[in-house]
């Protein structure tokens, strides 16, 4: 059971601020997709500290990141013995 940050791409792509990517304490956890014009979370690296939620909501004033149970992520996931991967 994991609690994970998830970016709303619709909100994020309209803002294009990149702020959260500089504050996540986990290396290569929040990256930026030029294709989607949005930040995205690497599920297997997120430690659920919620710093990105605070940065996006209270500093950037965009409120594009929510915490979700991993089973409820919009883009889905698969659990294998070696870890969690996106499908």
Measured over all CA atoms, what is the biggest interatomic distance in the chain, rounded to whole angstroms?
A: 39
The binder of ligand SF4 chosen from 47, 66, 73, 84 (CB under 6 A): 47
Helix (H) or strand (E) holding 48: none
Residues from 7 through 46 that contact ligand SF4 (CB under 6 A) = 7, 12, 15, 17-20, 24, 26, 29-30, 39, 41, 46
| Residue 9 CB-density burial (10 A; 0-12 exposed, 13-18 middle, 19+ buried) | middle
Residues in the site for ligand SF4, rule: CB under 6 A? 5, 7, 12, 15, 17-20, 24, 26, 29-30, 39, 41, 46-52, 55-56, 60, 62, 64-65
């Amino acid at each position: 059971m994991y609690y994970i940050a998830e970016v709303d791409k619709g909100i994020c792509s309209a803002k294009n601020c990149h702020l959260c990517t500089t504050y996540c304490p986990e290396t290569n956890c929040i990256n930026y997709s030029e294709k989607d014009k949005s930040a995205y979370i690497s599920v297997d690296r997120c430690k659920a500290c919620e710093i990105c939620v605070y940065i996006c909501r209270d500093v950037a004033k965009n409120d594009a990141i929510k915490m979700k149970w991993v089973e409820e992520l919009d883009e889905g996931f698969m659990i294998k013995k070696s870890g969690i991967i996106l499908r």
